[in-house]
Amino acid sequence: MTNPMRKPRAAQRGMSLVELMVALTVMSLVLVAVFSTFFRSQRVGQTMISAANLRQGARGACQLLERELRMAGSGWGRIGVDRYKPGGTDSVFAVNFGSGGAALCDSVTILGGWTAATTLRAGMATPSTAIPVLSTAGFAVNDLVVVTNGASAHMFRVTAVQASPGQLTNSSTSSYNPPSGGTLANWPAGGYATGAQVYRASWVSYRLDSTTYGRPSLIRREFGGSPQLLAYDVSRFQMRYRMQDGTTTRSPSDLDMVDEVVPVLWTRQTIPGRAAQVDSVWAAVRPRTF
């Protein structure tokens, strides 16, 4: 018969309070180490994903810019395109460079006729006469058009489209069109003859915006359209021009001497507790008409 006052054997005893506290302490240390490793790995993973997204955005923006630079001047090459401006005439080129801005950043404007084209079905005697065309397909009100004969080129804004007979009206209700009887510099003698080329002009600009989106961003804007966000955290955007004599500049004095256009985008990723990570994407482009 078992004696109820008999003490239990050592093998049958439970854990003491000290042993339980030691076990909990060890387990807590192990869990802290495991979760610290997990969260550290998660942060590293998020940093890598963020860096990849930044680079992908910059690369996509650079590819779009490269494509449009390659098409710059389509239809008229390096010829300056003259347009009406209240008080006179100014010229727009295939690539219009403009240095300046925050953090030594640049801007660039690209002009080309790579979307729609036709020819004159009759002569265009003066800048204030309507533009008679063989086809109005691809042209719409408020489009910019360039009329060129290969030696000179002039820009207008469409105020009305008449499919039959084919005609693009360029009335003075738009500030891009001269008033009735007005003249434009470099207008060809006798006007533009039948068969002269007419292009729907695509006019796009790229610049750095440091305020609108809360982070420095590369913005693309096509004439008449809304700004398009291309890439976040672009700390610098520069346009470099390789000249035919081998030199490189950010502000060429003569477009005819440009051999290649080199856009460069720098991205900057802020990492808490670490130095910011800077990366760059660039391209070297020779416009097809150069």
pLDDT of residue 8: 54
pLDDT over 90 (residue 84): yes
**Coil, helix or strand at residue 106:** strand
Given a contact cutoff of 8 angstroms between Cβ atoms, the answer to whether 99 and 250 are in contact is yes
For 3-41, write each residue's pLDDT tens digit: 555 555 555 566 687 777 877 888 888 888 777 776 676
Q: Which two tokens mark 26?
A: 């060890």
DSSP string of 194-212, one letter each residue: TT-EEEEEEEEEEEEESST
250 vs 188: which has the higher pLDDT: 188
Average pLDDT, the chain: 87
Q: Express as a percent the part of the chain with pLDDT over 70.
A: 88
Q: Locate tokens 């010829």: which residue?
A: 79
pTM for the whole structure: 0.81
Residue 95, pLDDT above cutoff 60: yes
Asked if the peptide bond before residue 165 counts as cis, ω within 30 degrees of 0, the response is: yes
Kindly state the average pLDDT of the residues 108-134. 96
pLDDT at 193 over 90: yes
- Partner residues linked to 229 by β-bridges: 219
Least trusted range by pLDDT, from 44-58, 190-204, 248-262: 44-58
Structure tokens at 289: 């008409």
Which residues, 6 or more positions from 285, have their beta carbon under 8 angstroms from its beta carbon? 66, 69, 70, 260, 261, 262, 263
Q: Is the pLDDT of residue 287 over 80?
A: yes
Confidence of residue 202 (pLDDT cuts 50, 70, 90): very high
Which of 98-112, 233-247, 248-262 comes out lowest in average pLDDT?
98-112
Six-digit token string for 131: 């533009």
Please check the confidence at residue 275 and state whether its pLDDT lies above 80.
Answer: no
Q: What is the distance between the alpha carbons of residues 135 and 139, in angstroms, rounded to a whole number?
A: 9
With cut-offs at 50, 70 and 90, classify the pLDDT of residue 44.
low
Work out whether strand 197-209 and strand 117-119 pair parallel, antiparallel, or are unpaired. Answer: antiparallel
| pLDDT at position 74 | 94
Q: What is the mean pLDDT of residues 68-96?
A: 92
Question: Which of 290, 263, 227 has its CA nearest to residue 66?
Answer: 263
